[in-house]
Every structure is written in structure tokens, then in C-alpha cells.
Amino acid sequence: MSRIHEALKKAAQERSARVGANNQTDIFDVAVDVKRTPDKTEELPEQESKGVITAEEAAPHSFEELIKCCPRPSWEPTEQNRVFQDTGDDGPAAERFHTLRSRLSQIAAVRPLRQVVVTSSVPAEGKTFIAANLAKSIARQPDKRVLLIDGDMRASRLHRVLGAPQKPGLSDYLGGELDLLKVMQRGPEGNLCFIPGGSNIANPSDLLLNERMKKLLELVTPMFDWVILDSPPALPVHDASMLADLCDGVLFVVRAGATSYEIAEKAVAEFRQKNLIGVVLNRIQSGEGYDGYYYGGELTNK
């Protein structure tokens, strides 16, 4: 059995074991509460976006020059969404993301891997939580620059996890209404930037198919060490597959104890020819006897 299949089987086995049980969830229990966080949808103050250079003008510039032009709004994540502390005293949950970060870095050392799509089979498996905190973990390294993009324009939630404004964002850029640096935010960590989902639209798939998405990635990738994209779930819509075609790798999130093997396997099959790099088995119950949190592909410690 492949490592990917092993990860999916473990998720299904835990799902069966939990039927009728009232077990305590592990340290990532906060992930299920993200969707209940108040939605901070206000736009960036107008004065913060004035004088911003266009995407074409930004192309030749260095990262340092780039972020000087980015709005820097206040990010106010709720306590339930905090994995990394301002003091730098990271706990067990943060260490899990540091482990994932290290394994992705190992892969990147032997093959091209800078743009990573994070997806799942269905909603509520924790992909947005994983994407946000993976980006934060990488940004804890002072020499690493990270761009986090909310590619789930159907139900954008990354701004909730970060406590950041939702718009302007990706939809506004792809629609041609705003240039890149008017939709990119600079986070409290100087080397972490964020493009939120943006204004609500009726045609997200059409926007992903136009050339501006491809050009966006071509523009920003040389300026960042990592570009992390949170995408919609794979089964309901085709957006994740389209984003995977534009990126170096796909990280698939499975919620242990919730996702059936059949559903997860069907979704994973979509990415077998699209650089599937591994599976994150999310929300493992404490005391289950697993000696690692991440399984699948090159990410396994088995």
C-alpha cells in the first residue's frame, strides 16, 4: 500500500473508531471553530492604497521595495486561532507545523517546489487552518519570505484565521479592477504577505482560467521563497485542479475521524498526475498511538 493510501486509511479507521464515542480532540481542535469567527470584511483604508505602483512596475523590483508599497493593516487573530505566540515561545501545535515545514523544505531541496496548493476533498477538513499556519511557520524563519493567497473565492476564510481584512483581494485583481500591490497586505511578520479572497463574485472559475492568475504567480514567485495557496475543496468544484495546474505541488488535507476513505480517495485521484506531494492527516486524537502527525507521500515519517 502506498503512503498516500496509508494516510487515507488511517483517517477512515479513526472515523470508524469514533462512531458513538465522545473523545477529546487534540491540539488542533481550534480548526473547527474558524468558520465561527466574526468575519472581518472591511476594506483597507483608502489612504493606505494611494500611491501604490502597478503590477508591471513592480516586476523588476526587489522584495524589499515591493513590501514598502504594500498596505500594512492591523491583523487581529482571535485566541482560538493562535498557534504561534508573539513571544516566539511556540508550543506543541506550532511544532507540528515546524515539522511539516521541514519536510516540505526537504522536498524542495531535490525538486522545484515553491508554489503549494492546499486543498481537501470536502469542506471543514481544516485546509485553511493548515495553509495559514504553515505559512506562519515558514515566516518564523527570518530568511524566508512567504506569500499566502486565498484562492477560495467562493468561500474565503483565510482572512478570518489571520484576523485581516477580506478585501480588496484576489477577485479584485483577477477581475482587472485593481493592480497587485493594492490587494496585497504585509503582515506583522515583515516577511509574510497576504492576498485575501476579495470581493464576492459570481464567476470564480472563469477568473482562475484567465491569464491574470498565471501572470500573478509568475510575478510574485521570484520575490518569495514560498507561495501558499488555499483552494476550494476538490470534489464540489474544479478550482483546486485548475490551481494545481499552475503550481509546483499539492498538499492534501484529510480530517481524521471525519472523512471516509472512499471520498478522500476519489478526491486524491484528481491530483495523481498533478504533483501531489503528500497528505496532512489533521486532528488526530491524542493517545491514538501515532508517532507522527503528517503522513503520505514524502511527508511521511514511517
Residues 207-232: tens digit of each pLDDT: 998 899 999 999 999 999 999 999 99
Predicted model pTM:
0.78
Residue with C-alpha cell 489571520? Answer: 162
**Domain ranges, residue 11:** 3-83+90-299
Neighbours of 259 (CB within 10 A): 25
pLDDT value of residue 286 = 52
Q: What is the spatial order of strands in the sheet that 276-282 belongs to? A: 185-186, 192-195, 146-150, 226-230, 115-120, 249-255, 276-282, 294-295
**What's the number of domains the chain is made of?**
1
Q: CATH code at 122?
A: 3.40.50.300
Burial of 155 (0-12, 13-18, 19+ CB in 10 A): middle
Percent of the chain beyond pLDDT 90? 46
Please write the tens of the pLDDT for every residue from 45-81: 543 433 443 445 444 367 887 788 888 999 988 777 7
* Cis, peptide link before residue 165, omega less than 30° from 0: no
The Cβ-side half-sphere exposure at 273, using a 13 Å CA radius, reads 2
